[in-house]
Chains A and B, each alone.
Chain A
Amino acid sequence: MLSVAIFLPLAAALCLPAVPRRAVPWTWIVIAVGELALVTALWIARGDRGGIAYETDVRWIPSVQAGYHVGADGLSLPLLALTALLFAACAVHSLGRTHRARAFAILFLFLETVCLGLFAALDLLLFFVFFDLSIVGMYFVILLWGHGDRAASALKFFLYTFLGSLVLLLGFLGLYLGADPHTFDMVELTRAPPWPGSPGRAGLTLLAVAIGLGVKTPVVPLHTWLPPAHTDAPAAGSAVLAGVMLKMGPYGLIRIAMPALPDAWSRYAWVFLAIGLAGVLYGALVALAQENLKRLVAYTSVNHMGYVILALGAAGHALGDADARRLAVTGAVTQMVSHGLVTGALFLLCGVLYDRAGGYDLGRFGGIAGGAPALAAAFAVAAFASLGLPGLSGFVAEFQILAGTIGSGTAAAAVTGALAVLGIVLTAALFLRVLHRAVLGPPGELTARVTDLRGSELGAVVPLLALSLAVGVAPRALLDTVEPLSAAVVALVSR
């Protein structure tokens, strides 16, 4: 059943060339929404039990113990649902705008299969296949539908993340060779962690895996591909890149690095704390200095992913309080979902601004609330959600992360957690500055061109923000799914 959900978009993409040109956008929307319904049904049908559901394990390359092994647990399901939701939002958002609409829809459906497959993969080689394909797919999205200096941005994105993926591959091979018997299967690797007797090799393997996933996350200082890629990508591409693909990094850390290399993770937990903190503060400070709205949102992604890495680092402190560490992991997963919803919405709104006015320059906008009240309202809600206002999803996530990090009981974690609170202040400052300059205030030179949101744009953005509100007000539904998983992960790391 899960395999059907994964490959449904790809099958639809293969059929799309036969659909008449004018029916393409609506076909895409129907498929994307249907896919969303399917994934939601899978989540509801499973409930909040622990363990892996919908497992399929087929032999693929038996001689190296690699298989087509997929399944969904409390970590996969929220991300699968987020993926389906964001792709559906992109389908709605793209209604009636893109040139070469058919190719665009095909590429996005392909990417949807890739992202769903990645979050369901329980085999390292399968995970890597989807990881690599996501890079190729996104490269073409930026190259063919981007704007500005798109060829250079796309190339930088490809080369940088491809190098990351190869380092990741070396790390995966390290896991494979360290396991006895050799295997690529994540469940087996979790059961019997590789390199039991040799901490040096386990450390090297963790280094390769962490660099590979860190490029994708991205963690400071491996983030430099992200601002140009986001700035020059089309709105839907940015939304998917930030909302879904950035999650592949922390997802891999929770799914692979923490359970399979528990000793190494505990030993180097302070490194993750440190780079998490660096991401939080550096991302916020650089975002504060941006004049380009889309670049600003891109840097807040660095900030938000920093919280996730911080929480995972805190969860690795074997001496810390187990409840607090569980809270940190739950917060990390919530942050991944929350960031997907909110940043996806922010990038789609940036795309609306670019469509109307042809620029992202903060100084040239001002007072857009006058002519475009719905756009201004949506932007304000997204900004408040992103800065962590209580009642919206960002608060739930960041509160858990910081409470878990500070509460884990070790001095290092408490200090980094306290410093990370500064990041929230900075984010608040920068978003208020944006609201002040662009949404309120005297009209700028481009303000006259900004008309209000159209039906399709509202249809894309409002569900994302409504869900962010729902998670903020009633987080139980999400947390009930995630908590058994966090308990399992923390137990695995403490082995």
Chain B
Amino acid sequence: MNENPADLAPELCVLLAAALGLVHGLFLPRDRQGRVAVTCAAGLAAGFAAAAVAASRPALTAFDAFAVDPITHVTRLAVLGTTLGAVALAAGGVRGHPRESEHHVLMLLAALGTMLLGASTDLLVLAAAYLLASVPAYALAGFGRDAPGTEAALKYYLMGALLGVAMLGGVTLLYGVGRGTSYAVLQEGLGAAPAAAVAAGAVALLAGPLFKAGAVPGHFWVPDVAEGAPRAVAAFVTTVPKIGAFAALYRIGAQALPPGAAGWPALAGTVAAATMTLGNLAAFGQDNVRRLLAYSTIGQAGFLLVPVAMAGRGDLARPALLFYVAAYAVTNLGAFAVVVATGRDELSGYTGLLRDAPLLGGSLTVCLLGFVGTPPTAVFVGKVLMFGAALDGGQVWLAVVAALNTVASVFYYLRWIVPLFGRPDGPFRPARGPAAVAVTAAALSLALGTGAGAVLAR
């Protein structure tokens, strides 16, 4: 058994930074806690570097429960990169807040849980990672201690607790019929187990990751948290936990369940179709950009579930999922960064942004057109791979549903883009830090799209 802690270097960097951040927070005077953000950012950057180095090495398994393979590499890099962006977004808003250091540390811990979620190849580690990724996020959602934030946190927590229990039930059931919790053991053991028990266990198990991914039926928290939580936290919880959740879902489909068990392509495909349709249709009438973005993330989650449904069928499913999830993370962070920068929640508040702040407005346009799947942004390449995976897996209906949903999604993204070209009512005073994050994310989205070859070659 490989028990080399160096294989978990990125995770350890984040854990160390979180611990240091807490200690710093204890001893620093209340008005000088800004340094904690620096410590946390340094930890994330170190983790990112370690993950990039690890990505060039061959795949291996550590501690019998932790795969270090391309899925983990992409999860790590995407989580660490977007968390770094989220910390930068939050830094301005919580400066001088009595719980400033706790805010950053909670973000780091949730990111750590997300990375474990995406890397674990054992149901028990998966359950632990689920809790580590969820509990700090509940606290973050209610960080503002105002009425909408409290409601959001409560809803988030109740949904998470309920679906978490369902997931634990699924773990128990699969352990019972599969005689193990490690994915490799399960894939062998479940083949001979009663099909109904496997199906029930798998469905219950999926509840947890689907909740984290914000997919149907675990999507109810997304709009409320996006609207009620502080803006930077909304950016964080609609971006980061999803990355690990999709990686976990893919692993369950490809590595834990035997091929064809629990009606896999049909089950996950139906969830995907339902998620994208619900998210896109519900986004139509939203006038609050945070709710609009929330439903947009649900729609995107549906698209991301397509390669999950195709797990293990064809060569395109894995690159499709990994590229799309990274592209989604960058684009979603960029869009939310614009919301943080302008500080406006109403659609009408964005009238004339392109004239008053061309760079910020341009970034928003790039991110929203990116969500539509316009080349040469990153999501475009992700979508091409996603459609290819669906056709390659023989699920033409899923590709058609995804195409129709993409067209439907154009409508509400355009509702936000069109006012940008109008005449501004009053001057915009965008915050500098978040604006820089938005511009970086938009540039990164374009770079990922045009340089897709270099990234996919890994």
Q: Which one of A57-65, A230-238, A399-407 is at the B interface?
A: A57-65
Judged by a CB distance under 8 angstroms, whether B301 is at the interface is no
Interface size on B, residues (CB 8 A): 30
Q: Which one of A166-174, A221-229, A271-279, A312-320 is at the B interface?
A: A166-174
Judged by a CB distance under 8 angstroms, whether B260 is at the interface is no
Judged by a CB distance under 8 angstroms, whether B407 is at the interface is yes
Distance of B182 from chain A, by nearest CB (Å): 30
Docked pose: A132 CA to B407 CA in angstroms: 13
Judged by a CB distance under 8 angstroms, whether A163 is at the interface is yes
Interface residues of A in 16-60 (CB under 8 A from B): 59-60
Distance of B423 from chain A, by nearest CB (Å): 12
Judged by a CB distance under 8 angstroms, whether A380 is at the interface is no
Q: Which residues of A contact B410 (CB under 8 A)?
A: 158-159, 162
Docked pose: A177 CA to B396 CA in angstroms: 13
Judged by a CB distance under 8 angstroms, whether B376 is at the interface is yes
- Other-chain contact of B403, A132, A170, A177 (Cβ < 8 Å): A170
- Other-chain contact of B407, A62, A162, A174 (Cβ < 8 Å): A162
Interface residues of A in 132-164 (CB under 8 A from B): 132-133, 136, 140, 143-144, 151, 155, 158-159, 162-163
Q: Which residues of A contact B375 (CB under 8 A)?
A: 128-129, 132-133
- Other-chain contact of B391, A63, A151, A174 (Cβ < 8 Å): A174
Residue contact B457 to A177, C-beta cutoff 8 Å? no
Q: Which of A140, A155, A170, A177 is most buried by chain B, counting CB atoms within 10 A of its CB?
A: A170
Assuming A132-B374, A151-B418, is B387 touching A170 (CB within 8 A)? yes
Residue contact B384 to A125, C-beta cutoff 8 Å? yes
Q: Which residues of B contact A167 (CB under 8 A)?
A: 403
Docked pose: A128 CA to B418 CA in angstroms: 24
Interface residues of B in 157-175 (CB under 8 A from A): none
Residue contact B457 to A62, C-beta cutoff 8 Å? yes
Judged by a CB distance under 8 angstroms, whether B9 is at the interface is no
Distance of B26 from chain A, by nearest CB (Å): 49
Judged by a CB distance under 8 angstroms, whether A176 is at the interface is yes
- Other-chain contact of A62, B384, B387, B414, B453 (Cβ < 8 Å): B453
Residue contact B403 to A136, C-beta cutoff 8 Å? no
Q: Which residues of A contact B456 (CB under 8 A)?
A: 61-64
Docked pose: A166 CA to B374 CA in angstroms: 11
A contact patch SS: helix
Q: Which residues of B contact A128 (CB under 8 A)?
A: 375, 384
Distance of A468 from chain B, by nearest CB (Å): 34
Residue of chain A at shortest CB distance from B387: A173
B contact patch SS: helix
Judged by a CB distance under 8 angstroms, whether B392 is at the interface is yes
Residue contact B388 to A64, C-beta cutoff 8 Å? yes
Interface size on A, residues (CB 8 A): 30
Docked pose: A151 CA to B421 CA in angstroms: 12
Distance of B290 from chain A, by nearest CB (Å): 24
Docked pose: A369 CA to B388 CA in angstroms: 58
Interface residues of A in 154-205 (CB under 8 A from B): 155, 158-159, 162-163, 166-167, 169-170, 173-174, 176-177
Residue of chain B at shortest CB distance from A63: B456
Assuming A125-B384, A128-B375, A177-B391, is B399 touching A170 (CB within 8 A)? yes
Interface residues of B in 362-394 (CB under 8 A from A): 369, 372, 374-376, 380-381, 384-385, 387-388, 391-392
Distance of A280 from chain B, by nearest CB (Å): 29
Bitwise, B40-51 to A at CB < 8 A (1) or not (0) is 000000000000
Docked pose: A136 CA to B365 CA in angstroms: 11
Assuming A163-B407, A169-B384, A176-B388, is B369 touching A158 (CB within 8 A)? no
Q: Which of A66, A159, A173, A174 is most buried by chain B, counting CB atoms within 10 A of its CB?
A: A173
Q: Which residues of B contact A140 (CB under 8 A)?
A: 421
Q: Which residues of A contact B319 (CB under 8 A)?
A: 63
Q: Which of B316, B372, B384, B410 is most buried by chain A, counting CB atoms within 10 A of its CB?
A: B384
Residue contact A173 to B384, C-beta cutoff 8 Å? yes
Distance of B365 from chain A, by nearest CB (Å): 10
Docked pose: A169 CA to B406 CA in angstroms: 12
Residue contact B418 to A143, C-beta cutoff 8 Å? yes
Distance of A261 from chain B, by nearest CB (Å): 16
Q: Which residues of A contact B411 (CB under 8 A)?
A: 155, 159
Judged by a CB distance under 8 angstroms, whether B400 is at the interface is yes
Distance of B263 from chain A, by nearest CB (Å): 24
Residue contact B388 to A173, C-beta cutoff 8 Å? yes
Bitwise, A437-474 to B at CB < 8 A (1) or not (0) is 00000000000000000000000000000000000000
Residue contact A59 to B388, C-beta cutoff 8 Å? no
Residue contact A61 to B403, C-beta cutoff 8 Å? no
Distance of A160 from chain B, by nearest CB (Å): 9
Residue contact A143 to B403, C-beta cutoff 8 Å? no
Residue contact B407 to A136, C-beta cutoff 8 Å? no
Residue of chain A at shortest CB distance from B456: A63
Assuming A63-B456, A166-B403, A173-B384, is B391 touching A136 (CB within 8 A)? no
Judged by a CB distance under 8 angstroms, whether B452 is at the interface is yes
Q: Which of A60, A61, A144, A169 is most buried by chain B, counting CB atoms within 10 A of its CB?
A: A61
Docked pose: A133 CA to B381 CA in angstroms: 14
Assuming A63-B457, A133-B374, is B406 touching A166 (CB within 8 A)? yes
- Other-chain contact of A163, B374, B403, B418, B452 (Cβ < 8 Å): B403
Q: Which residues of B contact A151 (CB under 8 A)?
A: 418
Distance of B371 from chain A, by nearest CB (Å): 13
Residue contact A177 to B376, C-beta cutoff 8 Å? no
Residue of chain A at shortest CB distance from B314: A177
Docked pose: A169 CA to B414 CA in angstroms: 21
Residue contact B376 to A136, C-beta cutoff 8 Å? no
Docked pose: A177 CA to B403 CA in angstroms: 18
Interface residues in chain B, defined as those with a beta carbon under 8 Å from any beta carbon in chain A: 316, 319, 369, 372, 374-376, 380-381, 384-385, 387-388, 391-392, 399-400, 403-404, 406-407, 410-411, 414, 418, 421, 452-453, 456-457
Query: 9 interchain pairs (CB within 8 A)?
Result: A59-B453, A132-B374, A133-B374, A159-B407, A166-B403, A169-B384, A173-B399, A174-B391, A177-B392
Given contacts A64-B385, A155-B411, A173-B384, 19 further A-B contacts (CB under 8 A): A60-B453, A61-B381, A63-B319, A63-B453, A63-B456, A125-B384, A129-B375, A129-B376, A132-B374, A132-B375, A140-B421, A143-B418, A159-B411, A166-B407, A169-B384, A170-B403, A173-B387, A173-B399, A177-B391
The 3 closest A-B pairs by CB, nearest first: A129-B375, A166-B403, A61-B453
